[in-house]
Structure 1
Amino acid sequence: MTDSPPFPSAAPADPPSPPPSHYHLMGIGGIGVSAFARLLAARGVRVSGCDASSSELTEQLEREGIPVAVGHSPTHVSGVDVLIASEAVPKDHPELVAARAAGVEVRPRMSLLDELLRAGPSVGVIGTHGKTTTTSMIAVAMQGAGLDPAAFVGGIVPEFGSNARMGHGPFVAEVDESDRGFGNLQCETAVFTNAEDDHVGGNQATYWETVEEQHAAFARFVGHARQVLYCADWPGLNGLCAGAAERLSYGQAGGADYRAVDLHPDAEGTTFTVEYRGEVLGEARVSLPGTHNVLNALAALAVTHLYGGDFGKAAAALASFRGPGRRWQRVGQLNGALVIDDYAHNATKVAAAVQAARQTGRRVRVVFQPHRYLRTQQSWPRLADALMGADEVLILDIAAASEQPIPGIHATLVSDRMAQGGHGGVRYLPDRAEVVRYLRETASGGDIIVTMGAGDVWKLSRELAGVGA
């Protein structure tokens, strides 16, 4: 599997038709769409895009030669061959209407990702948690092992300085289950981290009606792959992988094909040994705390091994890996306290982040921003329970993420349940200036402060650490 053709070109049976000359991407400032823009530009395709507002990402794209228009307008589709739009964009959006009227091909993001995955040897990472970190680790491990991966990541990977990497392959991609079309994609190797009930319920385009419907899509994705590598530690994944042509597993569980054994956690991460079907491949280290990161690193080392990469070099690359943006990101310090920012926004991710913080041996102080009214309505008891392991929790208001408020759903549901459960260090503190003032006055060298959530809580971490946003 190491003799891979260059990515993204492939060798189809029939002569290829010339690629469309101009792609226009709506929402190009998004972390995923901006990665598409970079990958397309690397193929020599003309790329442009638009978004509701400018951002650091759109400014970076413009510096790279990709024009970005601020705002949306039907005039953007003039001279365009293909318009890429998320399924969340309403079908009656003026740009989509103008594109169809002009005969411009309108394609969803998943169609473009499918094209990239099919172009050569590819690895698609799915699961409710850990996709961004695992995808980043696979790409970093492969690069360290002497391979030349291309990558599509839902976060900025420090080693690449980007959310995309251009390489000859294999192509490693994060596949987001919030897009209903993901189950129809085809890749060579599917990496399946876990399956829970996130992005379920409600009538939004990015939500599934039932968890069963979502998990059936996971099973379809796995069934299309040549092989699947799934986490043996997560209940139920083996069943969802029943339709796969070839199954391999990873985890701490006995019987897993790739196993992490002899774990030695410390304040900075975990050292462990990797076995493949009883044979020791070598020692590895992940410089991110938490058992979940051991599993993420194990998946990366397993994939690199499957593609013929050098294990020792891959392990060395992972040992220095500090994580993608907003995934246990070390922002700086405040009065000697370590300031971390983490994207954790559902109960399982929150519990994993709290466990990682506890592993440091410091006093754990969390600033938590619940994300979306619907998600809070569905899971506030679990969120509260997941936060109980922190020494102190400051609760911000819910980040709406364009949702309308739901009567009776408020951030105090989380703080009240924690207080009723006996937690003496929880407070609802919606005034951000007050949060910053309080932590500046009370932070000390024995603390770890974690800003946590999928909204804009990350801005507080920068303010606390005194670094640019």
Structure 2
Amino acid sequence: MKIHFVGIGGVGMSALAQLHAMGKDQVTGSDRLISKGYTDMALWGYLKKLGIQLFPQDGSGIDHKTDLVILSSAIEDTNPELIKAKALGIPTMHRSELLAKHVAEHRTIAVSGTSGKSTTTAMVYDILAFAGLSPSVITGASILSLQKEQGVFGNVYKGESDILIIEADESDGSIVKYHPHLGLCLNLQKDHKEINILQGYFKEFISHCKTAIINAEEENLRVLAPQAKTFGLSMGDVHPSEIKADGFGSDFVIQGQPFRLHIPGVHNVCNATAAVAAALQMGVDLDTCAKALNKFAGIARRFASVGSYNKIEVVDDFAHNPHKLAATIEAAHLRGKRVLAFYQPHAFTSIKMLAADFVDSFANHIGPNDHLWLTEVYYPGGTVPQGVSCRTIFEGLKARGTNVSYDDCRERILQEMAGAAQPGDILLVLGARDPTLTDFARKLLASLKERQPAASCKTCMLGNCCMAYTK
């Protein structure tokens, strides 16, 4: 079968594309980023190694030999790819429907929740792989152990057993399509939708699970499944004790078994506890869980240290909603005396729905000695409604007395951050979706060494300053 993936640069789409290319299917794909000239991204190299042919998102990758076109919720009816598929009479399928087929064909563990899904999915995978269960995994971030040990991009791996671990996304309601062997529910907070809508999704999802394990400390979840198995930081069927967190990890005990986790943040202790609860349900013992998590290296862009200069560390992180941002800044405070943070919002809808929550999160976690730089919302193209600006967050924070700056030119922000940094500081680069953020973090580290004067930029595009971060 010849399958074409529209938006193959998306982490969920690329995972499924790779999985089918690892099988017997011929796979092609297109992406807006290719159309915009982003031709040197690392992902493209991994896809090409699997024989996946890549095209601009203009319909040129679809022909009469294409059997199926896979779409995501980000693809509009006016997209040239969808128009071409309809003109040729080629059937289309949503990404979540294809994932649901894989879920149904395996003994699947589906990890759900507003925050922590990718990290917990990776932890479950690493534990089960260490236990010799040879699971497959489809997730929303590159697992570092897979990159190192298997030489793959890391967001998908095809194991030899019938066990599959997936990250179940609630943002577009597709979570209700999955009927897993085990459902793991981490948390439920207002993010892409209002709480009552999300609760409806999760209630239906939980009803589809053969077994469900939920966070006992999340009231929004507990009311949906009062009889479910539970985990938590301080309560639940599986919970840690004797937690000791530092800037590089945490020590804790579960049911008498000592654990050491080498990624920072108490929120990751909670993620690890959830992963242990799932592994126990799959028959893995606590000692094996502890040994696996002691080796856990993490996932891409989750408190990823880009490097240090003069005792100043630059950290790249995917945090993009109020809860994730709070957790990342808290972890940074464990490690550095002062936090200098850059945040680029990834969606206009998030600003519109969560502006007050963003203000509260930053105001409560950016300390009196810290500083936050904001820039405009990342816009990759398409017909998504705009009409809001990151200035809304900036103005709210100024009214709260938070140390915050706003600039729509990332080059100026970079120079200001590098110039303000002092030994012992942690510099955070925060945001999602934009593939140039990691390059921005690397350039920030280089600027620490150069300490060049602030640049003047008059030609930048919002959220994509002068295309300076594409190389």
Shift of 1:466: 3.5
Paired residues of 1:145 and 1:304 also in contact (CA < 8 A)? no
Does 2:208 match 1:224?
yes
Q: Within 5 Å, which residues of 2 pair with 1:422-433?
A: 422-423=401-402, 425-433=403-411
In structure 2, how many angstroms separate the alpha carbons of the residues matched to 1:47 and 1:30?
15
Once the two structures are superposed, residues 267-325 of structure 1 have per-residue CA deviations (whole angstroms, 9 ceiling, x without a partner) of 211111113xxxx3x11122222221111111111211211224323322222323211
Once the two structures are superposed, residues 128-165 of structure 1 have per-residue CA deviations (whole angstroms, 9 ceiling, x without a partner) of 11111111111112112222110001111111121101
Once the two structures are superposed, residues 400-449 of structure 1 have per-residue CA deviations (whole angstroms, 9 ceiling, x without a partner) of 4544541xx433332333233233x3222333222222233332331111
Q: Within 5 Å, which residues of 2 pair with 1:283-302?
A: 283-302=258-277
Q: Within 5 Å, which residues of 2 pair with 1:24-423?
A: 24-52=4-32, 53=34, 54=39, 55-73=41-59, 76-91=62-77, 93-161=79-147, 162-167=154-159, 168-200=161-193, 210-241=194-225, 247-254=228-235, 256-275=236-255, 280=256, 282-388=257-363, 389-390=365-366, 391-402=370-381, 403-406=384-387, 409-423=388-402
Q: Which residue identity does 2:177 align to in structure 1?
A: N
TM-score (structure 2 length as normaliser): 0.85
Paired residues of 1:345 and 1:371 also in contact (CA < 8 A)? yes
SS at match of 1:76: coil
In structure 1, how many angstroms separate the alpha carbons of the residues matched to 2:225 and 2:24?
37
Paired residues of 1:135 and 1:172 also in contact (CA < 8 A)? yes
Q: Which residue identity does 1:199 align to in structure 2?
A: H
Shift of 1:105: 2.7
SS at match of 2:307: strand
Paired residues of 2:340 and 2:421 also in contact (CA < 8 A)? no
Q: Which residue identity does 2:26 align to in structure 1?
A: R
In structure 2, how many angstroms separate the alpha carbons of the residues matched to 1:247 and 1:77?
48
Note closer, same or farther for the CA distance 1:110–1:237 as it changes in structure 2 (3 Å cut): same
In structure 2, how many angstroms separate the alpha carbons of the residues matched to 1:119 and 1:299?
24
In structure 1, how many angstroms separate the alpha carbons of the residues matched to 2:393 and 2:174?
33
Paired residues of 1:229 and 1:250 also in contact (CA < 8 A)? yes
Note closer, same or farther for the CA distance 1:379–1:75 as it changes in structure 2 (3 Å cut): closer
Paired residues of 1:24 and 1:77 also in contact (CA < 8 A)? no
SS at match of 2:46: helix
Note closer, same or farther for the CA distance 1:351–1:75 as it changes in structure 2 (3 Å cut): closer
> What residue in structure 2 maps to residue 15 of structure 1?
none
In structure 2, how many angstroms separate the alpha carbons of the residues matched to 1:422 and 1:95?
48
SS at match of 2:29: strand
Paired residues of 1:335 and 1:443 also in contact (CA < 8 A)? no
Once the two structures are superposed, residues 313-341 of structure 1 have per-residue CA deviations (whole angstroms, 9 ceiling, x without a partner) of 33222223232112211211243211111
In structure 1, how many angstroms separate the alpha carbons of the residues matched to 2:197 and 2:409?
39
Note closer, same or farther for the CA distance 1:169–1:386 as it changes in structure 2 (3 Å cut): same
> What residue in structure 2 maps to residue 452 of structure 1?
430
Q: Which residue identity does 2:230 align to in structure 1?
A: S
In structure 2, how many angstroms separate the alpha carbons of the residues matched to 1:442 and 1:225?
51
Paired residues of 1:372 and 1:401 also in contact (CA < 8 A)? no
Shift of 1:361: 4.2
Number of matched residues?
Answer: 428
Shift of 1:112: 0.8
TM-score (structure 1 length as normaliser): 0.85
Provide the identity percentage: 28
SS at match of 1:190: strand
Structure with greater helix percent:
2
Q: Which residue identity does 1:410 align to in structure 2?
A: S
